[in-house]
Amino acid sequence: MKLYPTPENPLPAGAVCVPVKTRDGVRLRALYAQVENPKGTAVLIGGRGDFMERYFETMRDLMARGFAVASFDFRGQGGSERLLSNPLRNHIRDFHDYDEDFSAAMTQVVIAHCPRPYFAVAHSTGGHILLRNLRRRTWFARAIILAPLVGLLYGLWPLPLVRILVFLSNSLGLGWMFLPAQKREPLGREDFPGNPLTSDRARWERDSAVLEQAPHLGVGGPTFAWLKAARKSTAALAALGTRDRFTCPVLMVMAGRDRVVDNEAAHRFAERVPGVSLIVIRESLHEILAERDEIRNQFLAVFDAFVEDITRQAAA
């Protein structure tokens, strides 16, 4: 396993790429990078279809602030083991499998090699998986979730039709099929106009260059099985209420112009569940960390403020 830097996307200094093996035998790709006199470790958790190279810039930003960093690719994407013969199908049968990936990366990489305290920075689906685990895991001192996947958006598809299609496809053994109208290969340079992810062409081009060098890191759209698993897991989050608790404070950072996840569901969640705060970066599309400098800088300021008390205590 290896990492794929480019001239526009250099490797974080001292980054070490390491293999991880889950309890069910899936091979994952992970990394960590140390700094002198660390304030702790920021663990970056990517979203659906992500690969670690997309977070190199943010890793460098956080290292410049005095944090060690760590990350990993979930099964079925990036440099981790794929689950179907067609490696472009982003597939899962149950989000419990993602929990296994998260646990393996934390125990074999973060806890084994990185200094405490730990701070989670999770994007979209990665944030959803983080929330699943914060009910019982005491790994983190603070957790920041960007563009949180709390509820799904179905576009023009009526919800009753979605339910029928998901039920039939999985009942007939067709859960491996791509969802309708989903792109069957990774997004590339030509897909920038009108995309729902970022308004920053330079960062879009940067990530496209990584995929041109290492096309095996990319995936296409999700499968019907992925959607079934996501619906089940988001329903479980929706059932949380005022008596439920997470093991650390959680800050959700919503993208005000998000067209990928349901911001209203995130609002309701933050109002209902204790220990969850929410702010909005109004001009951002879905991928806040791949957005324009003025948007990314807002996230970095939020990160600094949210972890300051913990890092000050650690330094005392």
Q: Per residue in 73-97, pLDDT tens?
A: 999 999 999 999 999 998 899 999 9
Cis peptide bond prior to 12, omega within 30° of 0: no
pLDDT of residue 314: 66
Nearest-CA neighbor of 146 among 164, 168, 131?
Answer: 131
Maximum C-alpha span of the chain: 60
pLDDT of residue 266: 96
Q: Per residue in 33-48, pLDDT tens?
A: 999 999 999 999 999 9
Q: How far apart are CA 277 and CA 5, in angstroms?
A: 35
Nearest-CA neighbor of 121 among 166, 58, 79, 173?
Answer: 58
Q: How distant is the alpha carbon of residue 285 from its chain centre?
A: 15
φ/ψ of 302, rounded to 5, equals -65, -45
Q: How far apart are CA 24 and CA 264, in angstroms?
A: 36
Q: Is the dihedral of CA 283, 287, 291, 293 positive or negative?
A: positive
Q: Note whether 24 and 49 are within 8 A (CB).
A: no
pLDDT of residue 316: 61
Q: Which residues, including other chains, have CB under 8 Å from residue 225's CB and lie 6 or more apart?
A: 91, 92, 93, 170, 175, 176
Give the Cα-Cα-Cα angle 302, 252, 290 (nearest 5 degrees): 65
Domain 16-315 has CATH 3.40.50.1820: yes
Residues of the chain with pLDDT under 50: none
Three-class HEC string of 154-222: CCCCCHHHHHHHHHHHHHCCCCCCECCCCCCCCCCHHHCCCCCCCCCHHHHHHHHHHHHHCHHHCCCCE
